[in-house]
Amino acid sequence: MRKFIYVAEVRMDEKRCDEIESWGMLAEDFIDSVLTDHGKDRGLIMKTRAIETDKSKYDLVINTIFDSIREDLTEEIEKEILTNRMCLGGNCEV
């Protein structure tokens, strides 16, 4: 199964947030529900998490994800280099 990270910055009008919270529901839970339900209806398996923040964290989140992916790839390459016994041209000094 292929995996994707989807990052979205969601904005909602203050009046809409107040309306949702008047139902006894957190705005974050509403956003999670809307996105997850929409994805499930189209066959996606999703984990979502909405977190309210005063400032935009979109660029920080994107950069953190790319840093993490690069670290994983670097570790994978290092492991392959250290465990691979094959040598260039078939000659290997051990």
| Model confidence pLDDT, tens digit, residues 1-27 | 999 999 999 999 999 999 999 999 999
**Phi and psi for 39 in degrees, rounded to 5?**
-65, -45
Q: Band the pLDDT of 79: cuts 50, 70, 90.
A: confident
* Residue ranges per structural domain of the chain: 1-52, 54-85
- The contacts found for 12-15 with CB under 8 angstroms, 24 or more apart, are none
Structure confidence by residue, pLDDT tens digits, 34-62: 999 999 999 999 999 999 999 999 999 99
pTM here is: 0.73
Structure tokens belonging to residue 49 = 């998490």
Query: Quick check: 80 pLDDT over 60?
Result: yes
